[in-house]
Copies of this chain bind each other. A is one copy, B any other.
């Protein structure tokens, strides 16, 4: 069983999607060991409690980033986490964190990277006038929204879309894309060449 540590900041809808994928057998050989949240009182914490999954708040507000990350790493180690999944975790992680889990931290960003990194990617996409948007699951490296890409999904931008309608369409794709990306990483049947995710010869990617 691979132990996942899921980091959230709010409602945790991607955490719920991952937990559901495990519960219904779509995502095998994995369990959510712990949910960590940097904001107290958010709905994602209730979702974890309802499922009997350990959840802890490690408040980030007013704290030095490196020290907060050291506390996060300690908690993840306490729960013997193998793979860290950022799921709507609205903090930039520091090298302290990244080096504690080399190639074992993945993130979801709601754009087709390398387009529209950073904040409000859906609104950035609408302002640019793209007709295709999407989402990316990638390994976390020391540059923002930059590491090796594991899965991408596209969605159309429709006439009259707002940030809300486009975000909802992207989120719907994320709920299956994130478990798929986790399954790909858990399989181990890949290597990273340059900055590319390359399934091993003879292994077909699902």
Contacts and interface: CB of A to CB of B under 8 A. Distances in A.
Interface in A138-180: 148-154, 159
Given A112-B112, A127-B194, A154-B154, A205 B132 contact: no
Interface stretch (A2-10, A37-45, A93-101, A195-203): A195-203
A130 B149 CA distance: 6
A149 B129 contact: yes
Interface size class of A (residues with CB under 8 A): 20 to 34
A115 interface: yes
A12 interface: no
A130 B159 contact: no
B149 A131 contact: yes
Contacts of A132: 112, 134, 152-154
A114 interface: yes
B114 A195 contact: no
A159 B199 contact: yes
Give the one of A129, A132, A154, A204 with max B CB within 10 A. A129
